[in-house]
């Protein structure tokens, strides 16, 4: 296992991952590791000892969010294993108890209540996907727990002062994302003019596209596009559980846009591109908000040129900016992801958000000197945290703890994701529309 030192952290976490809690029928306790468990490396000098500190969370290990949830699982396993080799948290081992929420927001509240009330976890970390995180946040607030979370960027709804985002699009993501996308498009010699919006109606995807429905001063991507002079030729909304994509593809084809803005997530853009391909139609250019990165690359040239958001891509320039530890982290993740059979093994935005969240949790415990939840929360507000891939983060309660965004845009070029915007973080030039 590769190891690294944690900047500004005096000790680190060891984690044993339990994907599900299982009861043994044997009278004697089993000496075999639990299903999915990561065995603690033994024999290291300064190995953690004593009662474990237990971190609880859910992840979407199955269901619609599963292709992304497994990225967070692998990143978390890697983080805590190599931290364990460095001596543990406060000198104690840490166990990560993970329950599968099956990509179902309705299960999240009960599962977090179980983790806190029945399993007696010491710490929590958030699940994947904004709707699930919002549900977990309500439980954390009810119990007064500090909760780092990976991917909820819907800042106006993340009002609990002790939730700490590991991925930030700033306090107004509904303005930041479309402005960034349209700024990039307008840097092209012949920018697109006709835009079709295809919008997942769940969580942050709907908010970023539509803004606040009852507040004209809080716009989303659709109205921002119109204000910037684009012709909005279609505005198609679909429920998160959509399975029939053909009617949507037909509407897009008939609208004849030169740019498709898919405010979607997970495998939404894969389904959409496949449905359009079956009609013999490809839009000249397309953006998708929060896709699972691997399945898109599996489409081959069908997805070439597609844009998305990113806080980190393992391009050489960005790895060098992140510092000497970054390459070892990226390489180890790639090895683990390949062993799990992931279609895309790169350490990118989702893995980065997970890494950030774990670094936030460790900093809170180490910085406050224990697991007192209010002390952890206060420490993060007062000191922030140094992260490997996103630099120093400051958490201002007036902005719901959302730090100034480091997000850019990535594009599929020649079968791989590369950062293309803004220019000072780009590893390649933004490619113009096809045709």
Dihedrals phi, psi of 199, to nearest 5 degrees: -125, 120
Q: Residues 133-142: pLDDT tens digits?
A: 999 999 999 9
Confidence at residue 114, expressed as pLDDT on a 0 to 100 scale:
98
Do 195 and 136 lie in one domain? The reply is no
Domain total of the chain? 3
- Tokens describing residue 102: 């099956």
Residue 275 belongs to some domain of the structure: yes
- How far is it, in rounded angstroms, from Cα 127 to Cα 135? 9
Contacts 24+ apart (CB under 8 A), 323-327: 323/388, 325/4, 325/5, 325/388, 326/388, 326/389
Work out the widest C-alpha separation in the chain, in whole angstroms.
73
Does residue 283 share a domain with residue 214? yes
The parent domain of residue 9 ranges over 1-30
Q: Are residues 224 and 260 in the same domain?
A: yes
Report pTM.
0.82
Q: What pLDDT band is residue 344 in, cutting at 50, 70 and 90? A: confident
User: Are 286 and 188 in the same domain?
Assistant: yes
Same structural domain, 91 and 13: no
Q: Looking at per-residue confidence, does 112 or 298 come out higher? A: 112
Task: Say yes or no: 10 and 52 in one domain.
Answer: no
The answer to whether residues 279 and 220 belong to one domain is: yes
Same-domain status, 90 and 51: yes
pLDDT at 268: 96
Are 280 and 418 in a shared domain?
yes
Q: Where is 194: in which H helix or E strand?
A: strand 194-200
Residues 309 and 363 in one domain: no
Read off the pLDDT of residues 24-60 as tens digits, 9 standing for 90 and up.
334 433 333 333 333 332 334 478 889 999 999 999 9
Tell me what pLDDT residue 257 has: 98
**Residue 190: per-residue pLDDT:** 94
Nearest by Cα to 146 from 360, 402, 403: 360
What average pLDDT does this structure show over 132-151? Answer: 97
Q: What is the pLDDT of residues 244-276, one digit of tens each?
A: 999 999 999 999 999 999 999 989 999 999 999
Top-confidence residue, 435 or 93: 93
Asked if the structure places residue 435 within a domain, the reply is no
- For residues 400-418, give the mean pLDDT: 94
Same domain, 133 and 199: no
In this prediction, residue 435 carries a pLDDT of: 63
Q: Looking at the structure, do residues 159 and 210 belong to the same domain, yes or no?
A: no
For residues 181-198, give the mean pLDDT: 97
Tell me what the mean pLDDT of segment 185-207 comes to. 94
Q: What's the chain's average pLDDT?
A: 88
pLDDT in tens, 92-123: 998 999 999 999 999 999 999 999 999 999 99
| DSSP secondary structure of 315-341 | -HHHHHHH-HHHHHHHHHHHHHHHHTT
What number of other Cβ atoms are within 10 A of residue 379's Cβ? Answer: 20
Q: What is the DSSP letter of 92?
A: B
The pLDDT score that the predictor gives to residue 433 is 85
């Amino acid at each position: 296992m590769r190891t690294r030192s944690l900047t500004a952290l005096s000790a680190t976490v060891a984690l044993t991952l339990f994907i599900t809690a299982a009861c043994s029928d044997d009278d004697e306790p089993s000496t075999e590791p639990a299903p999915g468990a990561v065995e603690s490396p033994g024999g290291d000098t300064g190995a953690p000892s004593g009662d474990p500190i237990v971190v609880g969370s859910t992840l979407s290990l199955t269901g619609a969010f599963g292709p992304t949830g497994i990225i967070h699982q692998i990143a978390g396993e890697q983080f805590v294993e190599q931290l364990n080799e460095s001596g543990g948290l406060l000198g104690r081992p840490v166990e990560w108890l993970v329950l599968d929420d099956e990509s179902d927001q309705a299960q999240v509240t009960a599962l977090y209540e179980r983790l806190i009330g029945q399993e007696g976890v010491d710490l929590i970390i958030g699940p994947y996907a904004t709707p699930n995180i919002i549900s977990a946040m309500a439980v954390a607030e009810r119990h007064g727990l500090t909760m780092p979370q990976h991917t909820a960027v819907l800042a106006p709804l993340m009002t609990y002062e002790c939730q700490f985002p590991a991925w930030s699009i700033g306090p107004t993501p509904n303005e930041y994302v479309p402005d960034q996308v349209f700024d990039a498009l307008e840097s092209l010699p012949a920018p697109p003019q006709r835009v079709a919006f295809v919008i997942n109606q769940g969580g942050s995807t709907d908010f970023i596209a539509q803004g606040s429905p009852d507040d004209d001063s809080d716009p989303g991507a659709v109205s921002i596009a119109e204000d910037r002079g684009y012709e909005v030729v279609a505005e198609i909304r679909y429920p998160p559980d959509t399975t029939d994509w053909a009617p949507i593809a037909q509407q897009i084809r008939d609208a004849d846009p030169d740019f498709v803005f898919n405010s979607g997530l997970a495998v939404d853009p894969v389904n959409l591109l496949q449905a359009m391909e079956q009609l013999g139609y490809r839009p000249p250019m397309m953006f998708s908000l929060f896709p699972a990165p691997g399945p898109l690359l599996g489409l081959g040239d069908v997805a070439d040129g597609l844009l998305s958001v990113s806080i980190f891509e393992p391009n050489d320039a960005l790895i060098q900016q992140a510092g000497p530890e970054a390459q070892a982290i990226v390489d180890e993740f790639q090895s683990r992801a390949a062993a799990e059979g992931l279609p895309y093994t790169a350490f990118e935005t989702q893995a980065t958000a997970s890494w950030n969240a774990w670094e936030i949790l460790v900093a809170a415990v180490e910085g406050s000197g224990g697991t007192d939840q209010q002390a952890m929360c206060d420490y993060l507000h007062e000191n922030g945290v140094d992260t490997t891939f996103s630099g120093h983060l400051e958490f201002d309660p007036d902005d719901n703890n959302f730090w100034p965004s480091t997000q850019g845009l990535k594009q599929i070029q020649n079968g791989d994701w590369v950062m293309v915007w803004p220019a000072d973080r780009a590893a390649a030039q933004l490619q113009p529309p096809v045709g």
